[in-house]
Amino acid sequence: MENKNLGRRNFIKGTTAAFAFTSLGAYAFEYGPKDKPWKVGLIGSGWYGKSDLFRLIQVANVDVVALCDPDKNMLSDAADLVQKRQRSGKKPKMFSDYRKMLADKKLDIVLIGSPDHWHALQGIEAMKSGAHVYLQKPISVDIIEGEALVAAAKKYNKVVQVGMQRRSTPHLIDAKKNIVDAGLLGKISHIEICCYYHMRDKGNRPVVEIPDFFDYDLWTGPAPIREFDGVPHRRWRAFMEYGNGIVGDMCVHMFDTVRWMLDLGWPKRVSSHGGIYVQKDAKANISDTQTAIFEFDELNCIWEHRSWGTASDPDYPWAFKIYGDKGTLKGSVQKYDFIPVGDGEEIHKDVIYEREKFPEDLTEKDMELHVAPASRGHMIDFLKAIENNTKPVADIEQGHISAASCILANMSMELGRPLVYDPKSMTIIDDPEATQLLQRNYRAPWKHPHPDSV
C-alpha cells in the first residue's frame, strides 16, 4: 500500500527486533521512515497526552511539530519537555485552538489526549485534515458521537487506534493466548469486572476568577459551562458534563479487555443501578456506587465500582475475573492468576517492565511504569496498521462498542430500566425516550456531529 502522504515505511518487525541507540540514553525501536519523520501533533498537552506522545517518540521516527492546549502554562511546559525528548531537538509550535493547528500543519498523525467531551469533534476534524489518529478512551460522551467517529474513519480511510492499551499489555496478551484461547477455562458463563479505587473527587471548592493563562470557554467547548472553581485538569472526570464517570473511565478498560479476550461484540442488553450513596458533600455529580450488567448469550458481565470502603479482593482492586467451568482467570494491569477447578496447576504472571531499555521512564513526572510497555506496544500496533492499511488492535469500531456500552449503563441507571441498543438503526429498541438521550445537546456555536454528515 502506497500512502501519498506518508510514503513507504520500512518497519523493523516484531518486539525482538534490533534496537537503535538514541540520545535519550535508552534503546528504542525504530519505526517509520528513515529519510523523513512523521509529522505529529498533540491535542491536549496534560498528563496522559504527554505520556502517550513520549511513548510514541520512544518507538518511532517522528517530528512533533505542533501542540495544542487552552492552558498556556501547560502548553509551554509541554513544548519545553518535547524539545528535550525528541530527536530533532526542535520546539513544536504552540496553539490554543485545535482547528488552527490542524489548518496550519499538514500532520501525518494526531494524538488526542483532551477531556472526553472533546474527543468526537477533534477526532473527526483530525481525520478530515488528513491525519491518522490515536484517540484516548472513551471515544465519546454520547453514542451518536461514537457513531460519527466510526463513519468518519471509514469515509476518510484513516487508521484510528483507541487508547485501550490492555489489548497491548504483554502479560494480558499471554493470558489470552495461553489461558483463554488454549481452552483452560472451559465453558465461560460469568464475568466480573470492578474498580474500588478511591478516585472520585471529594472537593467542594469555592468559585474563583478565571486566570489569564486559561481559556475556560474554549476548554469547555460543546459542554455545558459550569461555575469556575479552579483549573479543572484531572478533576473534570468528577462531572457528567465532561465524561461518563467511573464507568466511562475505568469500566471501559476492563469491559473492553474481556470483550477482546472472548471476542464479544455488542451486548444484547445493558442494565445498571447506583448513585451517590456515600460521598454526598462533594461537588462531583458522578456516581460513587454503581453496578452494571452487560448481557451476552449465556454469559453475563457484571461491573461494580465503589469509590469508598474496601475492595472485595484487595489483590485485584481494578480487575476482571472470567469464570469457566474448568477454571477462573483473574487479571489486572499488574498481573494475572489462573485457578483451575480441581487439582490442576495454578498459573501466575506479573506485569513486564522495561526500565533498563527506557531509563527515561524513571524520571518522567507521574509516570505509570507498569503501563509504559503496553502503551509502546499499542503505538507500534498503530503504526503497523498505518503502514499496512489494516485495522489496529483497538480500532475505532471496537472503541465505540466498549464506550457506547458503558454509556448505555449510565443511561440505564438514569432511566431505571434495561436498554437494548440497535447499532443499525441507532435507536434504543422500543424506547423513544431513551433514544432521545443518545445525542446530548451541544453548547452553541458548536455543532453535534452525525454519521450522515461527517
pLDDT over 70 (residue 31)? no
Helix (H, G, I), strand (E, B) or coil at 125: helix
For 67, 69, 70, 80, 95, the CA distances from 76, given in Å and listed in that order, are 9, 9, 11, 6, 10
pLDDT over 50 (residue 11)? no
Q: What is the pLDDT of residues 383-427, one digit of tens each?
A: 999 999 999 999 999 999 999 999 999 999 999 999 999 999 999
> Where does CATH 3.30.360.10 sit in the chain?
170-366+399-436
Q: Summarize the confidence of residues 74-102 as an average pLDDT.
A: 97
Of 240, 241, 244, 302, nearest in space to 270 by CA: 302
pLDDT over 60 (residue 291)? yes
Cα separation, 45 vs 51, whole angstroms: 9
| Fold adopted by 170-366+399-436 | Dihydrodipicolinate Reductase; domain 2 (3.30.360)
> Where does CATH 3.40.50.720 sit in the chain?
20-167+367-396
Q: How confident is the model at residue 35 (pLDDT cuts 50, 70, 90)?
A: confident
Cα separation, 421 vs 408, whole angstroms: 8
| Fold adopted by 20-167+367-396 | Rossmann fold (3.40.50)
Q: Summarize the confidence of residues 278-298 as an average pLDDT.
A: 97
pLDDT at site 26 = 35
pLDDT at site 14 = 35
Residue with cell 495461553: 178
Phi, psi (rounded to 5 degrees) for 301: -115, 120
Q: Summarize the confidence of residues 419-440 as an average pLDDT.
A: 98
Q: Summarize the confidence of residues 206-228 as an average pLDDT.
A: 97
With b meaning 16 or more CB within 10 Å and e meaning fewer, what string describes 205-233? eeeeeeeeebeeeebbbbbeebebeebbe
Kindly report the number of other CB atoms within 10 A of residue 253's CB atom.
22
Q: Report the sign of the C-alpha dihedral through residues 230, 233, 236, 242, in that order.
A: positive
Rg over CA atoms, the chain: 22
pLDDT over 80 (residue 3)? no
Kindly give, in sequence order, each residue whose CB lies less than 8 Å from that of residue 445, ignoring residues fewer than 6 positions away: none
Average per-residue pLDDT in the chain?
A: 93
pLDDT at site 105 = 81
Phi, psi (rounded to 5 degrees) for 450: -135, 145
pTM over 0.75: yes
Q: Is 380 exposed, middle or buried (0-12, 13-18, 19+ CB in 10 A)?
A: buried
Q: What is the pLDDT of residues 148-200, one digit of tens each?
A: 999 999 999 999 999 999 999 999 999 999 999 999 999 999 999 999 999 99
Helix (H, G, I), strand (E, B) or coil at 71: strand
Q: Say if residues 260 and 166 touch (Cβ distance below 8 Å).
A: yes
For 136, 179, 225, 403, the CA distances from 255, given in Å and listed in that order, are 16, 18, 31, 9
Could you tell me the three cell numbers for 196?
Answer: 474500588
Cα separation, 168 vs 191, whole angstroms: 21
Q: What is the pLDDT of residues 98-149, one digit of tens each?
A: 999 999 989 999 999 999 999 999 999 999 999 999 999 999 999 999 999 9
